[in-house]
Structure 1
Amino acid sequence: MADFSIDANVSDDCLHIQVKGEMIYEHQALVRARFDELLQHSEACIVVDLARVGFCDSSGLNVLLDLRRQAEQNGRQLALACVPASLRRILEVTGSDQVLRIYETVAEAEAACTAQS
């Protein structure tokens, strides 16, 4: 698990979450716990930077979909940024790209997210 981490910082009214490593079943409990902890912040906008995600299995995808659901239930905006091509393909094949807001850069995600909040 040394190669997996979730870091976060806040700027303006946006919570930036950076995920590094593989979003796989073995990390699912850690990811869910960390996301739950981060959702305690009050920022209206949440941007998840996935640039450093090497692989994502179905449990990782479910975590992202659950994060979106939790954010919306609390009146918050969620955007994914810097999604690697392999993960983008999984999102497309599963239809998740239709419910998750995906942007090329963190700046684009933040701008779109804050404009909607």
Structure 2
Amino acid sequence: MTVEPSVSASTSESCRIVQVSGDMDYANAPFFRHRLAQEATQSQLFVVLDLSAVPFCDSAGLNALLWAWRQAENAGTVLVLACVPPKLQRMLAMTQVDTLLRAYSTTAAAEAKLTATREA
């Protein structure tokens, strides 16, 4: 069963938490590219992409993540990943994208690290 692609966001004291759902593939890449870029350029200093509900990601989905990261960088925002599924973790490592996009085991861990970075 295919999950409809969706992006929803909430804001905490220090971060914008963006929940990403659905296959990040060729068919859905334009949707994700647009929505993630929107979320990455909000007025928050930190954005955490929660990828726990992403069952599949291909090269087009990876490109959407990189596009969002680039847009965030241009806007002065720090974008990180959280709850990255194992298959996507392997793809990030194989392509060395994990050197650009930091990943954390949970959104709480990402938020804590980003908050500590800001306070330092």
Do they superpose with TM above 0.5?
A: yes
Cα deviation for residue 56 of structure 1 reads 0.3
Kindly state the Cα deviation for residue 40 of structure 1 after the two structures are TM-superposed: 4.4
Aligned-partner Cα distance in 1 for 2:3–2:52: 18
Per the alignment, residue 28 of structure 1 pairs with 29
Structure-1 residue corresponding to 2:42: 41
Pairing 1:1-117 to 2, within 5 Å after superposition: 3-117=4-118
How many matched pairs? 117
In structure 1, how many angstroms separate the alpha carbons of the residues matched to 2:37 and 2:104? Answer: 23
User: Which structure has greater strand proportion?
Assistant: 1
Q: Distance in 2 between matches of 1:75 and 1:37?
A: 14
Deviations 1:70-95 (A, max 9, x none): 11122111110000000000001111
Distance 1:111 1:62, change over 3 A: same
Unaligned runs of 5+ in 2: none
**TM-score normalised by the chain length of structure 1:** 0.91
CA distance in 1, matches of 2:117, 2:76: 11
Root-mean-square deviation (Å): 1.6
**Among the aligned pairs, what percent are the same residue?**
44
Quickly say closer, same or farther: Cα 1:89–1:5, change in 2 above 3 A.
same
Quote the Cα distance in structure 2 between the aligned partners of 1:105 and 1:49: 8
